[in-house]
């Protein structure tokens, strides 16, 4: 188990991620960075459970980013935000020299602790549930507007007797299709898909 060897761990993604960031001056999102690493066949299969596999991939990326942030100072500043990851050179950029690592950041503290890599499926589900609750607040979702099961299934294009596996597969398909970052994505439809999926999970 990784948690048992945490003092000896060398994150294998540190240098591949640095290479990707140095090759492009663009701002990255975590899922785009993950996709780029998968294209380069750097990220291996990590768990037989899809949710745990995704969680572990995300953990390794965030851990590598926070480690790199420390390693690159003071010559460079690595901005680590899930929707805005960017490598910046020391220089004329306003305020660059003032960048400091926030060691009290709970997100940084979580991803720098290797014990969390070995999270159990229930822990990951709790994290995802917490994320969806925050997402609901972000998009203005409230109990009065929760879609009922039948309407939620209809929104996802499923029949009322759809299995849990069918619901999960269809949700992933619809989320990928309508995500605002996709060429033909639509924020309003994506929000509907999210609300439908969340109501089916409650």
- Res 30: pLDDT: 85
- Res 67: pLDDT: 93
Taking 70 as the threshold, does the pLDDT of residue 129 lie above it? no
Taking 80 as the threshold, does the pLDDT of residue 165 lie above it? yes
Cis amide prior to 74 (ω within 30 degrees): yes
Copy the structure tokens of residue 133. Answer: 């609750």
Tell me the C-alpha distance between 136 and 115, whole Å.
29
Q: Would you say the C-alpha torsion 124, 35, 17, 101 has a positive or negative sign? A: negative
- Res 4: pLDDT: 42
How many CA atoms lie within 13 Å of 39's alpha carbon, on the beta-carbon side? 8
Ranges of beta strands (E only) in the chain are: 76-81, 84-89
38-88 pLDDT per residue, tens: 887 777 778 888 878 888 888 999 999 999 999 988 888 898 986 789 988
Taking 80 as the threshold, does the pLDDT of residue 6 lie above it? no
132-154 pLDDT per residue, tens: 665 555 555 444 444 477 888 88
- Res 145: pLDDT: 40
Q: Which CATH architecture has domain 142-201?
A: Orthogonal Bundle (1.10)
pTM of the predicted structure, to 2 decimals: 0.59
Q: Where are the domains of the chain?
A: 9-140, 142-201
90-122 pLDDT per residue, tens: 655 544 455 788 888 888 998 999 998 988 888
Do the beta carbons of residue 133 and residue 199 sit within 8 Å?
no
- 171-176 contacts: CB < 8 A, separation 24 or more? 171/196, 171/197, 171/200
């Amino acid at each position: 188990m990784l948690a048992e060897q945490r003092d000896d761990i060398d994150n294998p993604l540190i240098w591949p991620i640095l290479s990707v960031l140095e090759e492009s001056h663009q701002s990255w999102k975590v899922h785009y960075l993950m996709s780029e690493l998968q294209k380069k066949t750097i990220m291996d299969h990590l768990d037989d459970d899809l949710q745990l596999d995704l969680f572990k991939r995300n953990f390794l990326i965030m851990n590598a980013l926070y480690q790199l942030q420390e390693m690159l100072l003071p010559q460079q500043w690595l901005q680590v935000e899930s929707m805005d990851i960017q490598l910046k050179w020391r220089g004329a950029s306003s305020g660059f020299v003032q960048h400091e690592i926030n060691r009290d950041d709970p997100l940084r503290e979580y991803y720098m602790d290797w014990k969390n890599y070995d999270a159990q499926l229930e822990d990951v589900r709790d994290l995802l549930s917490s994320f969806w609750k925050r997402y609901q607040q972000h998009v203005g979702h409230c109990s009065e507007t929760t879609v009922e099961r039948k309407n939620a299934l209809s929104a996802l294009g499923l029949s009322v007797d759809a299995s849990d596996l069918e619901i999960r597969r269809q949700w992933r398909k619809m989320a990928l299709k309508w995500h605002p970052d996709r060429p033909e994505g639509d924020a309003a439809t994506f929000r509907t898909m999210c609300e439908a999926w969340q109501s089916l999970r409650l």
